[in-house]
Amino acid sequence: MSAVDEILSQVDLDQLAQQVGADPADVEQAARTALPALLGGLDANAADPAGAASLAEALGQHDPALVEGGVDLGQVDPAEGDKIAQHIFGDNRDQVVSQLGGISGSAGKGIVAKLIPILAPIVLSWLAKKVLGGAADASRSPSASAGGGGLGDILGQVLGGATKGTQSGGVDTGSIITDVLGGLLGAGRR
């Protein structure tokens, strides 16, 4: 199961559609476009030692329990998600949303813009679950070290595979990261 499928399997798409005021099919299509962008942005940020350290700190603050047994969208703070998205995409956020909105078809950038702040905390909790393996605890924050099984190695395995080859409505969303976001994010925002 791809990372996108794994994350979406924990989200009630009908409830998410109600929350953003859109059709469930459009929300699913937009989410399948936005999730690889969030994962790819995290991967780009983690490529830099300072970005990896910042991500390690963030993972220690996100409870993996959010994605266990289904996400309770009432527990997701869009204001926090907005801050996460701003950190991931930086000054390029509007451009990223615009590009993703164009790729997600009829759903458009309005739905993508509403989804990103909801999906961002879910993505960090999912990643914390993959990296930490249990409940978040500041004393268990992963090491930002790039070598010897540190966060860099784990992120390479989790995020590297998370953004490759996922299909969304005939679009290879892995190419979104390469073609669309690559130029906008460069080596990632620190």
Mean pLDDT, to the nearest integer, of 93-121?
82
Is 61 contained in some domain?
A: yes
Model confidence band, residue 168 (pLDDT cutoffs 50, 70, 90)? very low
Number of domains into which the chain is organized: 1
Q: What is the pTM of this model?
A: 0.78
Q: DSSP label at 106? A: G
Its domain, for residue 147, covers 3-184
Is 190 contained in some domain?
A: no
In terms of pLDDT, which residue wins out, 43 or 79? 79
In terms of pLDDT, which residue wins out, 157 or 119? 119
pLDDT tens digits along 4-53: 899 999 999 999 999 999 999 999 999 998 998 898 888 888 888 888 88
The amino acid sitting at 156 is G
Query: How big, in percent rounded to 5, are the helix, strand and coil portions of the chain?
Result: 75, 0, 25
For residue 172, the surrounding DSSP H or E stretch is strand 171-172
Is 189 contained in some domain?
A: no
pLDDT tens digits along 141-160: 444 443 334 565 666 666 65
In terms of pLDDT, which residue wins out, 175 or 90? 90
Using an 8 Å Cβ cutoff, are 78 and 118 in contact? yes
